[in-house]
Amino acid sequence: MIKLNTPYHVAEENVTVTFTEVKNGSITGTYTNAILTGTLEGNVLSATFHNTAVNAVGLIELTFNEYGFEGKWKNGLEPGPMRGKWDGTIEADLEKNEVIGYKLYDLKEYTDNGLYSFIKKLNDILGEAGQMEMENQEVFLDNFYKQMNAFFAKHPEFIYLAKITEKISGNFDNVWFSLFIENDEEMMERFALKLDTLRDPGIINAVLKAEHLDISKINDDYNEFTRFSNLLSSYFVYSLDNVVEQNDAEELAEFILSISASNKSALSDDENAIPDQILDVLSGLGFDIHDYEGSSEINSTHYLKNSVSSGYDYLAYSENIISELYCS
């Protein structure tokens, strides 16, 4: 099903690759600063690649379909698992969005304007999908989620948005759901901190250490601060289950309230942007603190430097989170 001498667009690298046949079954694919050379058997091209821009070689396998191909690759020529993704879409079909749903999304734009902007755009996409016939809906969302996964693979600090996408997509009963987080086990291994680490030295200090970050740069550079807050959000959503599994509302409430610059860290955050973002993330997961009016007193047992009085009922809030995530 490969289409020779036809441009394919690869969203992961924003490049166009064109395939030609050298002799029976032998195929080359060329794109910016690189070439693929391999053998086609049926719809599967098994090849090697050489990227002259970075002097890299490796193995790649492309499986072609009606609209493009799904690819996987690895660096080096030794046999082994191919974990890289490299999917392409026939450029002529990119213009048929209303028919087959193939469209290129600027997912950086989705993340540039904050969490609620992301949620709005996501709801718009799901609402659009919900109006389609099932056949077109599946193709439309499959294309969108593939691009989202590719974006997360390049920008893992935003992986917490995948958890929110799962939650919001699941709330659309009439929307076919196909989100699959690539390399989820690797993400779990990277971002899910153990309970002892969360308690001491605390999640902020643990993330600084794990990511080899310079606290002075975070405090002085807005872009570095923003990247850190996104990283922290990803560590938070992957580590949350370890705290929730203790089935202790007081501990969970203390953990949530401890994510503050004033608690056991050298982080500067005069406007409390980071704890606000964590609460926004929890809201995106369906847990809105504004639904819990009433005061609470949270003691400093595991996570807090000092006990905290709050104008919201964090104990009831935490009980609800535990009920939904742990007891359900």
Q: Looking at residue 245, what is its pLDDT?
A: 95
Buried b (16+ CB within 10 A) or exposed e, 151-169: bbbeebbbbbbbbbbeebb
| Least confident residue range of 129-138, 201-210, 251-260 | 129-138
The C-alpha atoms of residue 210 and residue 189 are separated, in whole angstroms, by: 12
Q: Looking at residue 102, what is its pLDDT?
A: 60
Q: Looking at residue 47, what is its pLDDT?
A: 94
Pick the closest to residue 31 from 17, 49, 48 (CA basis): 17
The answer to whether the CB of 209 falls within 8 A of the CB of 231 is no
Q: Looking at residue 142, what is its pLDDT?
A: 83
What's the average model confidence in pLDDT over 220-231? 94
| Least confident residue range of 78-82, 200-204, 250-254 | 78-82
- Strand locations in the chain, DSSP E? 7-10, 15-23, 26-31, 34-41, 44-51, 56-64, 68-75, 84-85, 88-90, 293-298, 308-312
The C-alpha atoms of residue 17 and residue 259 are separated, in whole angstroms, by: 46
Q: Looking at residue 100, what is its pLDDT?
A: 46
How many C-beta neighbours within 10 Å does residue 28 have?
14
The H helix count followed by the E strand count for the chain is 13, 11
Mean pLDDT across the chain: 88
Provide the pLDDT confidence category of residue 134 given band limits of 50, 70 and 90.
confident
Highest mean pLDDT: which range of 1-10, 153-162, 175-184, 217-226: 217-226
Q: What is the DSSP letter of 246?
A: T
Provide the pLDDT confidence category of residue 328 given band limits of 50, 70 and 90.
low
Pick the closest to residue 19 from 67, 90, 73 (CA basis): 90
The answer to whether the CB of 144 falls within 8 A of the CB of 125 is yes
| Predicted confidence (pLDDT) per residue in 2-38, tens digit | 889 988 888 777 788 999 998 777 999 999 889 999 9
The answer to whether the CB of 118 falls within 8 A of the CB of 161 is yes
| Predicted confidence (pLDDT) per residue in 77-106, tens digit | 998 888 888 888 887 655 554 444 567 778
The answer to whether the CB of 4 falls within 8 A of the CB of 21 is yes
- Please give the radius of gyration of the chain, using alpha carbons only, rounded to the nearest integer: 23
Furthest CA-CA distance within the chain: 76
> Is the whole model's pTM more than 0.75, yes or no?
no
Q: Looking at residue 288, what is its pLDDT?
A: 96
What's the one-letter identity of residue 295? Answer: S
The C-alpha atoms of residue 187 and residue 181 are separated, in whole angstroms, by: 9
